[in-house]
Amino acid sequence: MNKIKELIKKYKILCIVITIVIVLVISTILVLYFKNPKNSFIYNLNNNNFTKANEIYEKSIKYDKKVQVETEIEVEKIIASITENFNNAKKGYNESIELLNSVEKTGMLKDKVIEAKKIVEDLNKSKTAYLKAIEYSKSGDYYNTLVEFNSVIEKDINYNIAKEKSSEILSKYREELFKTVDENVAKGDYDKSIELLTQLSKISPEDKEIQTKIEVYKDKKIVSLKDKQEVNVVSADFHTQWYSDTVSGIKVIIKNNTNKVIKNYTLGILAYDKDNYPLQISYSNTLFRGKGESVNIQPGQTGGEDTYFDIYYNEEKMKTAIACVESVEYYDGTEWTNPYYQLWLEKYNDKRYSN
pLDDT in tens, 199-215: 999 999 999 999 999 99
Please check the confidence at residue 109 and state whether its pLDDT lies above 60. yes
Per-residue b/e over 167-196, b at no fewer than 16 CB within 10 Å?
A: eebbeebbeebbeebeebbeeeebeebbeb
Bridge partners, 250 (sequence order): 238, 309
pLDDT for the residue 33 = 41
Distance CA 130, CA 7 (A): 69
Residue 70 has pLDDT above 90, yes or no: no
With a cut of 60, say whether residue 5 has pLDDT above it: no
pLDDT at site 142: 93
Q: Compute the average pLDDT of residues 255-282.
A: 93
Q: Among 194, 187, 188, which residue's Cα sits nearest to residue 213?
A: 194
Q: Which residue has the higher pLDDT, 243 or 303?
A: 303
Check whether 315 has a pLDDT greater than 60.
no
Q: Please give the share of the chain, as a percent, with pLDDT higher than 70.
A: 77
What's residue 35's pLDDT?
47
pLDDT band at 30; cut points 50, 70, 90: very low
Task: Identify the pLDDT of residue 15.
Answer: 56
Average pLDDT, the chain: 84
Q: Is 39 helix (H, G, I), strand (E, B) or coil?
A: helix
Distance CA 284, CA 308 (A): 20
Neighbours of 332 (CB within 10 A): 10
Judge whether residue 61 has pLDDT over 80: no
323 touches 270 (CB < 8 A): yes
